[in-house]
Amino acid sequence: MTFYVTTPIYYANSLPHLGHLYTMIVADTIARHKRQQGIETFFLTGTDEHGINIERAAERAGRTPKEQADYVVNYFKKMTAAFRLDTDHGGYDMFMRTSEPFHYEGVSELWRRAAKAKTPKGNDAIYKGHYEGWFCAACAAYKTEDEYAKPTEAGAAPTCLIHETPLDRISEESYFFRLSDYADALLALYESRPDFVQPESRNNEVTAFVRGGLQDLSVSRLKRSVSWGVPVPDDPDHTMYVWFDALTNYITAIGFGNEERERAVGFEKFWPALHLVGKDILRFHAVYWPAFLMAAGVEQPRAIVAHGMWVDPTGRKMSKTLGNTIDLDILGHHFPVDAIRYFVLREMVFGQDGRFGYEALIDRTNSDLASGLGNLSSRTLTMISRYAGGRVPSGVISEDKLLLAKRTGVDTDETTISGFIEHARDQFLQQLDAFAFSKALETAWSIVARVDKMISDAKPWELAKDENQKQTLNAVLYRAAETLRWLCALLYPVMPTAAQEIWTQLGLANSPGSPATPAGIDPAKMKWGELAEGTTIGEVKPLFPRIDKAKTMAEINDSVVQSATSNVQSPADARGAGDSPAMSVEREQGSGTHATEADAVAGAPISTETKPSPPMERATEADAVASAEGVTSFIDIADFTKVDLRVGEVLTAERIPKADKLLLLTVDIGEEKPRQILAGIAQYYEPEQLLGRKIAVVANLKPRKLRGYESQGMLLAASVGDEGKPVIATFTEEVPNGARLK
């Protein structure tokens, strides 16, 4: 069994942006999911290199069109490597370029076949005629009346509704594809294969368009107008219309019309493909492409799957004029690849438009990844190392201990949790197969929440105090660890690096009987309990460090300003540590705008400098430990009311590497966002003990930085004995978060 997935090939006149990155991430996720199932998968991406637009961009840059394409391809390849989407990172299998000689051969073959064919109504599928119309170079498409804005001044050209640039009046001899004869055949195709165009709303849209009637399509330009393109076979005065050329890449890449490619990849082996596209180019894929294939007698694609567009947080289309585009360098500098992947798949309801904002990305990274998955992983593994000697314990509670275990409130029936997780797995896989990525991730996070709750309810740190409850404790630890293993397998296609990291920390990368990577596990075939007792866990490391929102936003805003104004060539790769996708791309001195649809020739340099965050009061770790002092003097009530004391609820708690006194808490004090608070209590409290606890917080203490983390408040604790042991102040009655203490 084989599977073939494609992204659109991107215009070689424009630098990669968030939209391209998104399509790549979706395709990469689908490909990894298929590979996990043991299906031989081919993932194709690449560049669309012909046409007037590229010719013009090259001219402006003083390059040949091929040099222009090489320049953009270089940039795309660096982007895909930086975001781990290339072959070296288990991503695409081939980067296709339409300037490749084998592509010329393949497209010419498709043209010849179509040119010989008759339409379903018995006419020649391709004929020579005369075309007169308005052409948008940026879209590389002729525009009908409803696709352009009429000029306001007499004699001026109409403008493209998408690009808002003047259209060119074209009047010349042209070959036509008799699309008008294919409407019925296309409608029959959509009807017989309801999954051919997905999601359903897009299917309806395409069907309505075809029902509205189809006009024949001009499929060539005179060479003297557009010379950079594939010559029409047997008529070198014409070059092929770029969409005929571009769409055909999906088959030429794998061997159509070229024996060498056929041997290297295999059209016979992999076709038909699943084409992943943005809704902006759905018509080309769901109407023109199937009609070309029908004419040439080639099998139809497996499916055309269209996603929505990214817009800014206020819902506006991203454009360089509005200055609301997302710079991939800035994105990659501040966020781990997996956080970006998770965010785009979780945030956009597939098929609809989605809003992209850095603040939302930070919030999701902190809540779902740092506090959610990351915290579950680190608390589970830390407890295994602390309470079970670093080895996954047995999950079995023997008959004679069942009653004892029951008394603690722990569910002795393991199938309660395994049943929940198996059900969630089935749902997750169904949703993933239906491209409902957002829902699938919600499902996966229901597992995170369920097991988090299991741990909090079972209170392993209490069980650990009672030797008789050893089996109960072990059962809880086993269930948590086995859940992590399942989560790795489920989440691998979405977050390959994080899933591998948890897998390694769980000790599975080197465990006999387990594949070295979650890439090697088919989640559909997983069985609960396959995690071997005795597996030695690896070193526990934080997965998703919490992002300091204020600081990061200030840095991003600075970078955006700098990248928009700077004109200095960027030094290669001065940024990006760890998992962040540092792109060492040299952009040219240019017009100072960042490219979304900007011409690559006008690409602005990337600024690598980010200003240091505003200085904060320096403090030491010891400052966070409450000091024991007697009451020395009196204050007025007015002084006391200066202190804003609030009730808070601990949402997350974790240790900080190399700071043995500090715990990093997030505390809900009734504000829109929880506070991050550092507390010097790590020697006296287990992080798990604090979860859900109501505490008293000094809310208007000036933020300060400890060990690189900002503390946005202080918790109150009694200081007991000579050593000043902290005992956290708490409430014995119900109190709402944010209630004031006075």
Catalytic positions, please? 17, 20, 136, 139, 160, 163, 317, 320
Give the interface segment with ligand MSP, choosing from 17-25, 82-90, 173-181, 688-696 (CB under 6 A). 17-25
Beta strands in 30-153 (DSSP E): 40-48, 94-97, 126-136, 141-143, 148-149
Q: Name, in order, each residue with C-beta under 8 angstroms of 734's C-beta and a sequence gap of 6 or more.
A: none
List, in sequence order, every residue forming a beta bridge with 47; answer none if it has no partner.
10, 97
Q: Candidates 6-14, 185-193, 390-398, 463-471: pick the segment binding ligand MSP (CB under 6 A).
A: 6-14
Length of the chain measured in residues:
742
Q: How far is the CB of 247 from ligand MSP (least distance, A)?
A: 5
Q: Tokens 């050893």 sit at which residue?
A: 470
Measured CA to CA, the distance from residue 14 to residue 287 in angstroms comes to: 25
- Of 309 and 564, which has the nearer Cβ to ligand MSP? 309
Select from 11-19, 402-410, 586-594, 608-616 the region that touches ligand MSP (CB under 6 A).
Answer: 11-19
287 binds ligand MSP per the rule CB under 6 A: no
Q: Is 21 in the site for ligand MSP (CB under 6 A)?
A: no
Nearer to ligand MSP, 48 or 501 (CB): 48
Q: What is the total count of residues that contact ligand MSP (CB under 6 A)? A: 19
- Does the protein bind ligand MSP through residue 309 (CB under 6 A)? yes
Q: Which of 355/450 has CB closer to ligand MSP?
A: 355
Is residue 277 near ligand MSP by the rule CB under 6 A?
Answer: yes
Q: In the set 135, 310, 486, 685, which binds ligand MSP (CB under 6 A)? A: 310
| Contacting range for ligand MSP; rule: CB under 6 A; set: 2-10, 28-36, 220-228, 528-536 | 2-10
Tell me the residue type at 395: G
**Closest-CA residue to 252 (of 106, 93, 96):** 106
**Burial of 394 from C-beta contacts in 10 A (0-12 / 13-18 / 19+):** middle
- Residue 22 in the binding site for ligand MSP (CB under 6 A): yes
190 binds ligand MSP (CB under 6 A): no
Closest to ligand MSP by CB, 18 vs 499, is 18
Q: Which residues contact 331 (CB under 8 A, 6 or more apart)?
A: 18, 340
- Of 22 and 83, the one with the shorter C-beta distance to ligand MSP is 22
Contact call for residue 48 and ligand MSP (CB under 6 A): yes
Please provide the DSSP assignment of 392-426 as one string.
Answer: PPP----HHHHHHHHHTT----THHHHHHHHHHHH
Task: Specify which residues 678 forms β-bridges with.
Answer: 664
714 lines the binding site for ligand MSP (CB under 6 A): no
Of 14-22, 58-66, 337-345, 530-538: span binding ligand MSP (CB under 6 A): 14-22
Is 26 a binding residue for ligand MSP by CB under 6 A? The answer is: no
In this structure, the number of other CB atoms found within 10 A of the CB of residue 158 comes to 18
Nearer to ligand MSP among residue 273 and residue 458 (C-beta) = 273
Q: What is the Cα–Cα distance from 17 to 83, expressed in whole angstroms? A: 12
Under the binding rule (CB under 6 A), the answer on residue 214 touching ligand MSP is: no
Stretch that binds ligand MSP, among 10-18, 496-504, 568-576, 610-618 (CB under 6 A): 10-18
The structure tokens 């109409």 sit at: 158
23 binds ligand MSP (CB under 6 A): yes
Q: Cis omega before residue 736 (within 30°)? A: no
11 counts as binding ligand MSP under rule CB under 6 A: yes
Residue 310 or 492: which CB sits closer to ligand MSP?
Answer: 310
CB of residue 18 to ligand MSP, shortest distance in Å? 6
Q: Which two tokens stand for residue 125?
A: 């599928």
Residue of 3, 4, 10, 445 interacting with ligand MSP (CB under 6 A):
10
User: What are the CA-CA distances from residue 245 to residues 49, 98, 272, 282 (Å)?
Assistant: 10, 8, 18, 16
Cβ atoms of 333 and 24 closer than 8 Å: no
For residue 131, count CB atoms less than 10 angstroms from its CB and return exposed for 0-12, middle for 13-18, buried for 19 or more: buried
Position closest to ligand MSP via CB:
19
Residue 661 binding ligand MSP, by CB under 6 A: no
Taking CB under 6 A as the criterion, the residue among 115, 125, 197, 281 binding ligand MSP is 281
Geometric angle at alpha carbon 144, from 219 and 175, rounded to 5°: 15
Q: Which helix (H) or strand (E) holds 322?
A: none
- Supply the angle between the helices 496-505 and 337-347 in degrees, to the nearest 10: 120
Closest contact distance (angstroms) between CB of 176 and ligand MSP is: 20
As beta bridge partners, residue 42 has 4
Q: Which of 364, 350, 358, 365 is nearest to 326 (CA)?
A: 358
Q: Are 605 and 587 in contact (CB under 8 A)?
A: yes
Closer Cβ to ligand MSP, 139 or 664, answer by number:
139
**Binding interface with ligand MSP (CB under 6 A):** 8-11, 14, 19-20, 22-23, 48, 246-247, 277-278, 280-281, 309-310, 318
